[in-house]
A and B are shown apart, each in its own frame.
Chain A
Amino acid sequence: QKEVEQDPGPLSVPEGAIVSLNCTYSNSAFQYFMWYRQYSRKGPELLMYTYSSGNKEDGRFTAQVDKSSKYISLFIRDSQPSDSATYLCAMSPQSGGYQKVTFGTGTKLQVIP
């Protein structure tokens, strides 16, 4: 079993829809969670990060963490064609230093005009 599981998609939604992207994990040591967006042929771009369970909102994006279920989500409201990209979740143990970050495989999202 992989430490981080993420549905690769592709996920196709109409413009304006609410998108839900999810990852599950098995390592209870993970305390720090990140979401990245990667456009084709580009490096990943950090969207959001969070330490705690609950919701964190930034514009149209909401990151949700449920540590009891080992489940994290990224919601995109009012999705736009420019949101079409691959979304990667990432996580690591909380403490700093040289902790390894584990990535999901990425979910490809396509927002159709």
Chain B
Amino acid sequence: GAVVSQHPSRVICKSGTSVKIECRSLDFQATTMFWYRQFPKQSLMLMATSNEGSKATYEQGVEKDKFLINHASLTLSTLTVASAHPEDSSFYICSARQLAGNTIYFGEGSWLTVV
């Protein structure tokens, strides 16, 4: 199946710093990428939908100035957590939809710990 790579898989940062997470579709082109957040033992929570070449669409309650999403190419989207705080500590997962079709593939996720 298609591969979506997410990097870094784990990151620890100090409160107040910014962290960037990359999501790459390795063997297909993705016009749309999705960013999720997942708390322990809870379901995926969609944060935003990222379309190549245009601004991301954020879900209600998600701060666009805090979670900056850039989808610069058909294979790369980035999520930057600006001025991270301990409450931003979570598991962040991206997914990518193939250019042709509706199938969505997920990255392995990134654990963010803000200390």
| Residues on B with beta carbons closer than 8 Å to the beta carbon of A41 | 91, 109, 111
Closest chain-A Cβ to B2's Cβ sits at a distance in Å of 8
A66–B59 Cα distance when bound, in Å, is 30
Flag if B106 contacts A98 (CB, 8 Å).
no
Chain B interface, DSSP helix/strand/loop, else mixed: strand
A61–B100 Cα distance when bound, in Å, is 25
Q: Count of B residues near A, CB < 8 Å? A: 26
A71 part of interface (Cβ distance < 8 Å): no
| Residues on B with beta carbons closer than 8 Å to the beta carbon of A34 | 103-104
A88–B34 Cα distance when bound, in Å, is 16
Closest chain-B Cβ to A93's Cβ sits at a distance in Å of 9
Q: A43-B6, A98-B31, A98-B32 are in contact. Are A103 and B44 (CB under 8 A)?
A: yes
A97–B49 Cα distance when bound, in Å, is 12
| Residues on B with beta carbons closer than 8 Å to the beta carbon of A43 | 4, 6, 93, 95, 106-109
Flag if A100 contacts B108 (CB, 8 Å).
no
Q: How large is the interface on A (under 10, 10 to 19, 20 to 34, 35 or more residues)?
A: 20 to 34
| Residues on B with beta carbons closer than 8 Å to the beta carbon of A104 | 43
Chain A interface, DSSP helix/strand/loop, else mixed: loop
A30–B105 Cα distance when bound, in Å, is 19
Specify which of A42, A43, A105 lies most central, judged by the most chain B CB atoms within 10 Å of its CB: A43
> Which residues of A are in contact with B by a Cβ distance under 8 Å?
32, 34, 36, 41-46, 49, 88, 90, 92, 94, 96-101, 103-106
Supply 23 A–B pairs (Cβ within 8 Å), ascending by A: A34-B103, A41-B109, A42-B108, A42-B109, A43-B4, A43-B6, A43-B93, A44-B93, A46-B1, A46-B104, A46-B105, A49-B103, A88-B44, A96-B101, A96-B102, A97-B31, A98-B31, A98-B32, A100-B46, A101-B97, A101-B102, A101-B104, A103-B44
